[in-house]
Amino acid sequence: MMKSIKRWACILLTLVLLTGSVCVSVTAANAPKKFRAACADGALVLRWNAVAGAESYVLLKQNARGEWIRKNGASPTSTTFTDAKVKDAHSYNYRVYAVVNGNKGAAAALKATYLAPPQITKFVNRANGIQLKWKRCAAAAQYTLYRLNTRGAWERIATLGAGTRSYLDRNVTGGTKYTYTLRQTSGSTVSAFKKNGFRHVFVSPVTGLTVKNSPKGVILRWNAVAEAKTYEVLRKVPGGSWTTVKTVKRTTTQMVDAAAPYGKKCFYLVRALRPNNVGANGTVEAVFAVDPTKPMIALTYDDGPYRPTTNQVLDVLEKYNARATFFVVGNRLATYSDCLAREASLGCEIGCHTYNHTTLTSASDTTIANEIANTNALIAQYSGQTPRLLRAPGGAINSRVQSVVGYPLIQWSVDTRDWEHRNTQTTINHVKTHASDGAIVLMHDIHAPTANAAEGVVSYLVGQGYQLVTVSEMMDAKGITMQNGSVYYRAG
C-alpha cells in the first residue's frame, strides 16, 4: 500500500513540475517586445509589438504612491495607448502584458520621460526681422526651430542651446504670414511639434519719417507700408515715456501734432499696425516744437567756434532753454570740435560759413564747392548734423554765387555790428531796439564783448515773450520752404 502511495505521489510531483515548466514557457513567450514611447503634443504615445494569440493587453502605470493602476480597456487588443495625463519633464513607469488563453503573460517594463512642445509666447516685429520668444522648458538640452516652407513642409532654421529663449528670423518679407514650431531635446528624448504651429504676419517698419515745424504745429510725413491697416503715431519728451498721439487710417501718411509741448524737444515714432499685430519700430526723429502763434527770433553767430566765448554763449542758451544758429568756419572745427558737439546737444543749428572765411564773390566755382564740402563734412563728423544752410562771409553774394552754392543763403535783418564796436551794451541795445517777430540777428561768438552780451540779449527777448529758435525752425514754423540759392533776410 505504501509503495502504491509513493508511486502516485511521484507521478503527481512529476505532473506539477511538468505543468510549471509549461507555464514558464508560456509566460516567456507572451512578454510583449519593443515596448517604447514617443512624445506627442500633450501626451505620451506607448507602443509595443503584438504577441501571438493575445486576447488582450493590460497596461499599468505607477502612481505617485508606487501603486500600479490599470490604464487601458477601451480597445483591449490595441498595441498602442495614448497617455494624456503627463507633464513636461516628468518621467513615468509603465508595464504591459498580454493575456493568452486566459493566462497572464510576463510584463514588459518601460520608463518614459515626457517633453512638451515648447510654447512660443510672443512675436515682436523688429526692423530686421521677426523675433520669437518662448517659455523655458525645464529639461531641455537644446531647441530646434522650424518654419513651414512654401511646399507645406517643416524646414529647420535653427538649433539653439538650452539657455536660449528667443530667436530673430531675418529672412522675412513684409505682409507675409509665417508659421513656426519648436521641439525640445533632452538626451535621446525629443518632443513633438505643437499642432498647427504658431502663425505671425511680419509688419514692416515705417520708413521715410520726417518731422518739422509748420504754421499748424509739428507735421509728420512717412512712407506707406503695404500691409498696414492703421498707423500709430507716438511722441515722447526727454525723461518721459512714449505716448500715443493719434492712430490714423492706412490711407494716411501724414499728420499734424497740434498739441506738441512747445519749447521742448519732441521725439516721434510711427508704427504700422494690423489687428493684434504691432509693426516694427522704424527710425526715431526729433524736433524742438515751436509755437507758431507766438513771436520768434533767430539769433545767429558767425566765425566760430572759439571755446572760451562760444561756451559762454552756450551757457546762456542752456540756462534759458533757448537755441541759436552757429555759422562755423571749417578750419577751426578740428581744434574746437567739442563746441560743435555741445551746440548740437543743445538743439542749436550749425550752418556753413566756408572753410577759410573765403569771399565767395571772388572765388572760382571749384573753390566755392570745396569750401562748402570740406566744412560740411567736418560739421557732420563732429556734430552729427547735416547742414541745411549757408552764410557767405561778409554777406558777399551775387547771382553766380546763388547758382552754384546749392544751399539757401541766410543773411540778416538785425546787424549788431558787434565785430566793429566790440561793446557789450551797444550790442544789447541794438537787439532791444530792432527786435521783431521773424527777425534774424547777426552776431559773432568769437568776440568776448558779444559773449558778455548774451545774458542781456537772451534774458530780454525771453522776457518779451519771444521764442529763441534756429533759422530752420523759424522758417518751418512760419511756413516758408527755403530753396537752394535763394536769399533770406528774415522770416515773413
Task: Encode pLDDT of 196-241 as tens digits.
Answer: 999 999 999 999 999 999 999 999 999 999 999 999 999 999 999 9
Same fold, 28-114 and 296-488: no
- How many CA atoms lie less than 13 Å away from 181 in the CB half-sphere? 17
| Domain 210-288 part of CATH 2.60.40.10 | yes
291 is catalytic: no
- Tell me which of 353, 430, 444, 447 is the catalytic residue: 444
pLDDT band at 73 (very low <50, low <70, confident <90, very high): low
Taking each helix axis from N to C end, the angle separating 337-345 and 365-383, rounded to the nearest 10 degrees, works out to 70
Q: What is the mean pLDDT of the chain?
A: 93
pLDDT at 334 over 90: yes
Residues near 163 by Cβ (< 8 Å), separated by ≥ 6?
Answer: none
Answer whether residue 115 shows pLDDT above 50.
Answer: yes
Residue 288 has pLDDT above 50, yes or no: yes
Q: Contact, 471 vs 440, CB < 8 A?
A: yes
pTM score > 0.85 for this model? Answer: no
Domain ranges of the chain: 28-114, 120-201, 210-288, 296-488
Q: Does the pLDDT value for residue 393 go beyond 90? A: yes
Q: Is 302 a catalytic residue?
A: yes
> In one letter, which amino acid is 252?
T
Task: Report the CATH fold assignment for 120-201.
Answer: Immunoglobulin-like (2.60.40)
CB-facing half-sphere around the CA of 318: CA atoms within 13 A: 11
Residue 19 has pLDDT above 50, yes or no: no
pLDDT at residue 16 is higher than 80: no
**Domain 296-488 listed as CATH 3.20.20.370:** yes
* 358, pLDDT greater than 70: yes
Catalytic residue among 88, 257, 302, 303: 302
Give the pLDDT band (50/70/90) at residue 168: very high
Considering the domain 28-114, what is its CATH architecture?
Sandwich (2.60)
Contacts of 451 (CB under 8 A, 6+ apart): 308, 309, 310, 312, 313, 445
